Amino acid sequence: MEAYRLEMLKQIAGALAAQFGPNCEVVVHDLSAQNTEHPIVHIENGHVTGRRIGDGPSKIVMEYILHGEEDPQDQLAYLTRTPDGKILKSSTVYIRNSKGKVTAILSINYDISSLLMVNNAISSLISTPEPAREERITTVNVNDLLDDLIEQSVALVGKPVALMNKDDKVKAIQFLSQHGAFLITKSGDKVAKYFGISKYTLYSYIDTKQEEKQHE
């Protein structure tokens, strides 16, 4: 990528990060042939995803490198999740040279986890006793069922995993236990990883409810 174009993208990244604050990560990926394994050449607020200059590509960037279309369309305002549970509103912009070839990708990842908590708090204040009707898509396999139950457990707590304390995680995991999530093969591994706890801790959280019942 031309030096002047890289400097321009760095300037844009800095401006976006300054405008939207520390929750806004902006990443510049150089797709020159020599940089495909370590394409991140500039990053603002890398703490959002824990990345830094010289790191490897994200999933969406890797997919483009391996199977890139000749004329890819920008992907704007989609949701992603970090390994530690942060919810991000993301956009991916393909940067082209004078010949129309994609030479760089500008990625914007805004951590909306705290905003979702505020939204949930406001919703609880303005909601009415009569629940709104909601269309549900039938789950077609057990993996989808487990993912669906995990999403329901997070919604029950009302905050993303990254902001949950021990009591929040206990509440979510007991919900999963009550709804048969742990009858699914290898579900314990997936749930423990999702909530950032060991399998021993997972089972202790499940047993918490049983111990409470025994003491009632």
Q: Which domains does the chain have, with CATH numbers?
A: 3-113 (3.30.450.20), 138-214 (no CATH)
Task: Reduce the secondary structure of the chain to three states and give it as a string.
Answer: CCHHHHHHHHHHHHHHHHHHCCCEEEEEEECCHHHCCCCEEEEECHHHCCCCCCCCCCHHHHHHHHHCCCCCCCEEEEEEECCCCCEEEEEEEEEECCCCCEEEEEEEEEECHHHHHHHHHHHHHHCCCCCCCCCCCCCCCHHHHHHHHHHHHHHHHCCCHHHCCHHHHHHHHHHHHHCCHHHCCCHHHHHHHHHCCCHHHHHHHHHHHHHHHHCC
pLDDT at position 131: 56
Q: What is the pLDDT of residues 180-216, one digit of tens each?
A: 888 787 889 999 999 999 989 998 998 875 545 444 4
Q: What is the pLDDT of residues 5-34, one digit of tens each?
A: 899 999 999 999 999 999 999 999 998 766
Q: What is the pLDDT of residues 121-134, one digit of tens each?
A: 887 787 766 555 54
User: pTM of the full predicted structure?
Assistant: 0.60
pLDDT of residue 164 exceeding 80, the answer is yes
